[in-house]
């Protein structure tokens, strides 16, 4: 979230799209109700299903799954053409005025540089035009035909009401109503917040849906504002923390990146990331990349990391492909290219698409290690469960280890919620039997490997032999020690530019500004610097006072970065440093510094007259309407159909087969053959969660099993009538890849969509229930889902695919 | 935002068909009623602050456990409820959080390391040292056989991609940090967590 849970109460309009927070984030959703009750806010729900969020909304609009870019692209066109965008904000705080290269273009669904053979783009032209000093050219009047504003306007001009209706299937009057309600928040004293979740990410165009939302919020001046923002309501309790700590194939802690195999030179690696401003004098905070990187290397490799060896640059693995994401890894596993796999608190058999492929892949492993507090389907993938999971154990040669771990109630530590709050918790009881904390298991494996490399040798043992291990009991590192390490400390006295001592040797650093690129500081995650300072554990703070009465409890826990609760909050004030509106005051310039209810997201002594842009992480200092080369399928979002779609072609490019689906998506050969056709599988399906269950975990909790005991699917009344299905009937839902049997819930909540002369039906399929635990046994929903991901992140397309439904 | 009701209204509401106990869980209890329940049922409990580890709202929870720290005594959690001081949840829990105790105490909780030998159809209990010895042996053998120092173009890559690791999004930052540190020191790249799923 750019903003935070309690801040939702400051919104005047809440757009819930790509999420159903009433059901999936119920307690957070109480702040939506608070906004409605106390702030006279209105709630809009746009969803394929009439959900519990829809049920308490002021307005609900149904939409075909996977068409959100069309809906929001139409909104962008509407806001521009009816002149309902925030002129001053757009001019001053976004890159609207920057001029794009002359050779950049877009034609029939494809941006310049597309190579059909490899299915990828050469992004050379996706850049601003530079002047002699390397800065982007600008036109503050926004009239230049190649300024970002005019290009954006032309790009979205195709998204007319008629086109949007024909793509989304939403009735015209509903689209217009939603657009009008949203446009009302263009005034400075009204803000809209956007709440989304996996309903936006789990598409082959997921990242671009979110980009479209960000453009809308920039046009309306809602970023950095109280009650504004683009708010990802993340799925799991610490998925934010794991992302922040970089537990992804290509990342390092704090959103730093591993080098690609071509990046053999350390200085070039740093220069590529420590990017200089593209507009004169802007902050471009990533300029400090090397400080964060060297501090990380010092935290991991200690004395072994020196300037002479480029701080152990070659000790980190380099990437031969962009991502070794889970789809890529399971594809390789299915080809027999992976021998070992660890699942730490993760149940891929249930959680990854195309379960049959996942089963076959796991069967190719030599060894599988599952670390979990609970019994999972993955750990028992070799067990025959009849028609629920039909395998032959004697043919599966995988050696499987299942290691019992503690759960949250049995250990100390932090988790990071959606609002970026690091909250410390304490264990209350020992785990069952011999279960151990994950940290001890990792330590146990690591020490054994270290001993083997010491005794037997082996390829490149240096990082293993030299990894720092500054823990009092090496076999049981304590969470407190690990938290102090990712906060970071000074290895030498650290001075500021005026030679004042700011952090003594051995002291915890107070913030990431203290970190140095000369090896004098160690820090495991620069973004978390400040969470455990010389004043102790800031994440354990419990002062819930709210001095400004706007829900800003800065003394409760600790938020990254720097305990800031609303990102980009400088944009919440006018260019002259005064709040946009009295009821939206958040941070402001008091004549000598930035002050207010939040920690300013800005150099605190930089006066408004200096004119620095508020988006200090960007090279332009501005919100990016134009993504440049940062998105693989283009600098502007474009609607592409899901890989399994209930329509014959992409209404925006009916004659170009290359732009029917996301042109830059990665599809493996075998998976392309496993896509179903509209003729065989005529209905659009989407998966979702229920309020009573959390994925496959609560199948094991009795109370939740009692509340929702049995697998069901949702089907609209019209279609059910056509198929002769009555409520309570057992049905089989099938895709090209598999089937699940479930009870049919026949409902008014899913309406058929009228698109031209066609009627499109959608089926709702909860992801829950499996064949372990306390609930009634069922097949896993991911037997159905397609093996294709978002082109940028490779998040699987769980939200849009094709099925058929048969009565059993 | 907690509903303020008197004790009398509270029981009336209860009589109107909504179970009072679940109302208390949802944070709709009048203070005196809650106070009296706590006083009698939970006076001997140790209260520990924690957070719900289902969704990302991060509601505050209080774990009530018994056990006096004496040598033959094992602490046991017997009740979990919302933390009223928490600025987001203010004592509330949703139906998922309200069932947390049944997760902690689930019959599916694992208690001992197990192994399933190739081609067999059963779990076999093993000791921790044996489990960790065998797993680390597999890792060493696979890394030794498949570690890539230089790729075909002669670039130094120092990676190991024939063993992969999925990390858990409900584990703590501290677990995640140590996991990352160790995984990268081995040169692993096929490393991910639920953020991509
Ligand atoms: S109690 Fe419910 S809303 Fe709160 S963190 Fe747990 S799952 Fe999320």
Locate the domains of chain A by residue range. 326-419+428-452, 657-807
Q: How many CB atoms lie within 10 A of CB A274?
A: 17
Q: What is the DSSP string of A235-248?
A: SSTTHHHHHHTT-S
Interface test mutation site (partner B, options A250, A409, A782, max chain B beta carbons within 10 A): A409
pLDDT, residue B19, reads 39
Q: How far is the CA of B54 from the centre of ligand 1 (A)?
A: 6
pLDDT, residue B23, reads 44
pLDDT, residue B42, reads 67
| A799 alpha-carbon distance from chain centroid | 15
All residues of chain A having their beta carbon less than 8 Å from the beta carbon of residue B193 are 239, 242-243, 247-248, 346
In the structure, which protein residues have their CB atom closer than 6 angstroms to any atom of ligand 1?
A 25-27; B 52, 54-55, 57-59, 89, 93-94, 96-97
According to DSSP, residue A394 is labeled G
Q: Distance (Å, rounded) from C-alpha A440 to C-alpha A434?
A: 12
Alpha helices in A94-244 (DSSP H): 148-156, 161-168, 172-183, 198-201, 206-219, 239-244
All residues of chain A having their beta carbon less than 8 Å from the beta carbon of residue B107 are 700, 774
Tell whether ipTM is more than 0.95: yes
All residues of chain A having their beta carbon less than 8 Å from the beta carbon of residue B159 are 317-320
Structure token digits, residue A585: 């005051």
Q: How many CB atoms lie within 10 A of CB B136?
A: 19
B7 pLDDT higher than 80: no
Q: Which of B110, B133, B122, B1 is nearest to A700 (CA)?
A: B110
CATH of domain A326-419+428-452: 3.40.50.740
Structure token digits, residue B169: 């999004």
CATH of domain B46-104: 3.30.200.210
| Span A30-86, pLDDT tens digits | 999 999 999 999 999 999 999 999 999 999 999 999 999 999 999 999 999 999 999
Question: pTM here?
Answer: 0.94
Is there a contact between B172 and A409 (Cβ–Cβ < 8 Å)? no
B95/A692 Cβ within 8 A: yes
pLDDT, residue B40, reads 55
Q: Distance (Å, rounded) from C-alpha A63 to C-alpha A167?
A: 9
B121-140 residues touching A, CB cutoff 8 A: 121, 123, 128, 131-140
Q: Distance (Å, rounded) from C-alpha A223 to C-alpha A317?
A: 37
A443 pLDDT higher than 50: yes
Residues contacting residue A112 through CB under 8 Å, at least 6 positions apart? A103, A104, A105, A106, A125, A126
Measured between CB atoms, does A716 come within 8 Å of chain B?
no
> Who among B111, B123, B186 is closest to A433 (CB)?
B111
Q: Which of A132, A147, A58, A133 is nearest to A100 (CA)?
A: A147
Instruction: Name the one residue in this structure whose structure tokens are 């995640």.
Output: B176
Percentage, residues of chain A above pLDDT 90: 100
A253 pLDDT higher than 80: yes
Q: How far is CA A18 from CA A195, A201, A206, A334, A522, in A?
A: 8, 8, 10, 32, 40
A366/B138 Cβ within 8 A: yes
Q: How far is the CA of A694 from the centre of ligand 1 (A)?
A: 10
Mean pLDDT over A102-109 rounds to: 97
Side-by-side strand order, sheet with A413-416 = A413-416, A421-425, A558-559
Q: Which of A53, A52, A50 is nearest to A63 (CA)?
A: A50
Mean pLDDT over A587-593 rounds to: 98
| Span B18-47, pLDDT tens digits | 433 444 444 555 555 455 554 555 677 899
Q: What is the DSSP string of B167-192?
A: E-TTS-HHHHHHHHHHHHHTTB--EE
Instruction: Name the one residue in this structure whose structure tokens are 């309009």.
Output: A13
Q: Distance (Å, rounded) from C-alpha A464 to C-alpha A445?
A: 12
All residues of chain A having their beta carbon less than 8 Å from the beta carbon of residue B112 are 404, 433-434
Structure token digits, residue B129: 């040292």
Residues contacting residue B89 through CB under 8 Å, at least 6 positions apart? A27, B27, B57, B59, B60, B82, B83
A673 pLDDT higher than 90: yes
Domain A657-807, architecture per CATH: Beta Barrel (2.40)
Task: Give CATH 3.30.200.210 domain extents, chain B.
Answer: 46-104
Determine phi and psi for A375, rounding to 5 degrees.
-70, 130
B73-92 residues touching A, CB cutoff 8 A: 74-77, 80, 85-89, 92
């Amino acid at each position: 979230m750019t903003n935070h849970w309690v801040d939702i109460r400051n919104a005047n309009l809440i757009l819930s799209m790509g999420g159903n927070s009433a059901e999936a984030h119920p307690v957070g959703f109480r702040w939506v109700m608070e906004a409605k009750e106390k702030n006279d806010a209105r709630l809009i729900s746009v969803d394929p299903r009439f959900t519990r969020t829809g049920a308490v909304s002021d307005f609900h609009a149904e939409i075909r799954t996977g068409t959100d870019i069309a809906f929001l692209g139409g909104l962008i066109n509407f806001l521009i053409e009816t002149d309902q965008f925030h002129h001053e904000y757009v001019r001053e705080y976004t890159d609207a005025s920057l001029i794009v290269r002359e050779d950049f273009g877009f034609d029939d669904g494809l941006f310049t540089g597309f190579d059909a053979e490899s299915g990828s783009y050469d992004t050379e032209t996706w850049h601003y035009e530079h002047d002699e000093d390397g800065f982007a050219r600008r036109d503050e009047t926004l009239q230049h035909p190649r300024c970002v504003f005019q290009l954006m306007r032309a790009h979205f001009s195709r998204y007319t009401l008629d086109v949007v209706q024909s793509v989304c299937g939403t009735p015209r009057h509903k689209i217009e109503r939603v657009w009008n309600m949203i446009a009302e928040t263009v005034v400075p004293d009204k803000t809209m917040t956007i709440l989304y979740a996996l309903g936006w990410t789990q598409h082959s165009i997921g990242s671009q849906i979110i980009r479209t939302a960000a453009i809308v919020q920039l046009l309306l001046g809602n970023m950095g504002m109280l009650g504004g923002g683009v708010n990802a309501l993340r799925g799991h309790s610490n998925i934010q923390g794991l992302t922040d700590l970089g537990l992804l194939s290509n990342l390092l802690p704090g959103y730093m990146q591993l080098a690609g195999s071509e990046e053999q030179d350390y200085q070039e690696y740093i220069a590529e990331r420590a990017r200089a401003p593209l507009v004169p004098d802007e902050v471009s905070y990533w300029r400090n990349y090397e400080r964060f990187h060297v501090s990380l290397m010092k935290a991991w490799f200690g004395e072994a990391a020196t300037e002479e060896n480029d701080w152990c640059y070659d000790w980190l693995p380099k990437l031969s492909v962009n991502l070794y994401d889970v789809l890529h890894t399971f594809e390789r596993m299915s080809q027999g290219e992976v021998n070992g796999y660890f699942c730490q608190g993760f149940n891929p058999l249930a959680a990854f698409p195309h379960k049959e492929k996942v089963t076959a892949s796991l069967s190719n492993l030599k060894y599988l290690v599952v670390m979990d507090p609970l019994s999972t389907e993955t750990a028992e993938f070799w067990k025959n469960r009849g028609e629920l999971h039909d395998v032959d154990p004697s043919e599966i040669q995988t050696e499987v280890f299942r290691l019992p771990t503690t759960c949250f109630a049995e250990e100390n530590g932090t988790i990071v919620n959606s609002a970026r709050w690091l909250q410390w918790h304490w264990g209350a009881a020992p785990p069952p039997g011999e279960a151990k904390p994950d940290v001890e298991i990792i330590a146990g494996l690591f020490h054994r490997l270290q001993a083997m490399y010491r005794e037997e040798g082996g390829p490149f043992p240096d990082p293993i032999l030299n990894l720092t291990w500054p823990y009092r009991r090496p076999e049981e590192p304590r969470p407190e020690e690990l938290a102090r390490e990712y906060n970071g400390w000074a290895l030498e006295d650290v001075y500021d530019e005026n030679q004042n001592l700011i952090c003594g040797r051995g002291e915890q650093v107070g913030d990431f500004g203290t970190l140095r690129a000369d090896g004098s500081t160690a820090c495991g995650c620069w973004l978390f610097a400040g969470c455990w300072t010389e004043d102790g554990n800031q994440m354990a703070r419990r002062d819930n006072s709210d001095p400004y009465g706007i829900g800003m409890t800065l003394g409760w826990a600790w938020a990254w970065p720097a305990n800031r609760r609303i990102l980009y909050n400088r944009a919440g004030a006018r260019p002259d440093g005064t709040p946009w509106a009295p009821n939206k005051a958040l941070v402001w310039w008091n004549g000598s510094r930035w002050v207010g209810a939040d920690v300013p997201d800005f150099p605190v002594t930089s006066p408004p007259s200096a004119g620095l842009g508020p988006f200090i992480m960007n090279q332009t200092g501005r919100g990016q309407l134009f993504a440049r080369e940062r998105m693989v399928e283009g600098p502007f979002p474009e609607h592409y159909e899901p890989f399994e779609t209930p329509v014959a072609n992409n209404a925006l490019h009916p004659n170009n087969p290359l732009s029917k689906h996301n042109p830059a998506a990665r599809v493996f050969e075998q998976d392309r053959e496993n896509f179903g056709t509209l003729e065989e599988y005529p209905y659009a399906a989407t998966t979702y969660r229920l309020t009573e269950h959390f994925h496959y975990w609560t199948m094991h909790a009795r109370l939740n099993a009692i509340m929702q005991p049995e697998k069901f699917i949702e089907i609209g009344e019209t279609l059910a009538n056509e198929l002769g299905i009555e409520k309570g009937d057992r049905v089989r839902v099938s895709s090209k890849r598999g089937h699940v049997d479930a009870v049919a819930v026949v409902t008014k909540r899913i309406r058929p969509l009228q698109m031209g002369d066609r009627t499109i039906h959608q089926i709702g399929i909860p992801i829950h229930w499996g064949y372990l635990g306390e609930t009634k046994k069922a097949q896993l929903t991911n037997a159905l889902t397609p093996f294709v991901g978002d082109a940028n992140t490779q998040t699987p397309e769980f939200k849009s695919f094709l099925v058929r439904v048969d009565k059993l | 935002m907690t509903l303020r009701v008197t004790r009398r209204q509270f029981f009336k509401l209860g009589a109107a068909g909504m179970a009072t106990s679940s109302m208390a869980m949802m944070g709709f209890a009048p203070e005196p009623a809650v106070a009296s329940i706590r006083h009698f049922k939970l006076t001997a409990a140790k209260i520990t602050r924690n957070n719900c580890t289902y969704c990302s709202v991060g509601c505050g929870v209080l774990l009530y456990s018994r056990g006096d720290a004496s040598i033959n005594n094992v602490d046991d959690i017997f009740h979990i409820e919302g933390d009223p001081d928490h600025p987001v949840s203010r004592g509330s829990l949703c139906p998922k959080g309200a069932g947390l105790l049944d997760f902690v105490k689930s019959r599916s909780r694992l208690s001992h390391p197990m192994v399933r030998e190739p081609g067999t159809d059963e779990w076999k209990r093993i000791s921790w040292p044996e489990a960790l010895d065998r797993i680390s042996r597999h890792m060493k053998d696979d890394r030794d056989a498949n570690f890539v120092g230089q790729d075909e173009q002669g670039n130094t890559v120092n990676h190991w991609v024939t063993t992969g690791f999925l990390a858990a999004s409900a584990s703590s930052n501290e677990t995640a940090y140590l996991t990352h540190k160790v995984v990268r020191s081995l040169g692993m790249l096929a490393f991910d967590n639920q953020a991509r799923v």
